[in-house]
Amino acid sequence: MVRVLVLLTALASAPLLSGQAAGGAAAGTTLALIPPFGNLKLYLGLTDFQLEQLVQIMNEQNEALMENYRQIAQKEAELYNLLNSGSQDLHRIGRLTVDIHTMRTHPPANNYRERALAVLTPDQRARLPVLVQALITNPTAQQAVTLNLIGLEAVSLPMLGIPPIMGPAGTKVVPSPQ
């Protein structure tokens, strides 16, 4: 367990030790051991252009959701003000309550998933079921890690885009089974 903690600490502090602290990064950039969506890009064989399109679609979806939340917040604030002021406008109070409920339970229709899938080639789309299976089994795998049935040594760090950590005299530091 101690070796695992040492490995995780080393991974987390690698950017700091190499002088790449977040404060030293250019404004608006983030540092990460793995580029955003890098594993997905490698797995699906996405081009830079495809990834840019997918990120743009995701950003549009996030903005639409945020706008929906802003509208809900405005209606909630109006409802709160009406209720706190002792308003007797039951029609307006009821209308706001129904509007808020409708906006929460039925967000605006979208086609983001269809647009994202249209960016992929047929071969790339054919690889998606494996990712769905990974989503399904992920909680089970996390539980196995929690119960020490699977350790970090089961994960190939280079496959995650993380170079092996070098120990004394150039030896690789990899956690060993307990």
Q: At 166, give phi and psi (nearest 5°).
A: -95, 130
pLDDT at 59 > cutoff 80:
yes
Within 8 A by CB and 6+ apart from 35, the residues are 41, 161
pTM above 0.75, yes or no: no
Residue-wise pLDDT tens digits, 32-43: 445 688 889 999
The pLDDT value recorded for residue 178 is 44
One-letter amino acid of 107 = P
Q: Give 73-77 contacts, CB < 8 A, sequence gap 24+.
A: 75/99, 75/100, 75/103, 76/100
Residue 26: predicted pLDDT = 43
107 or 81, greater pLDDT: 81
pLDDT of 98 reads 96
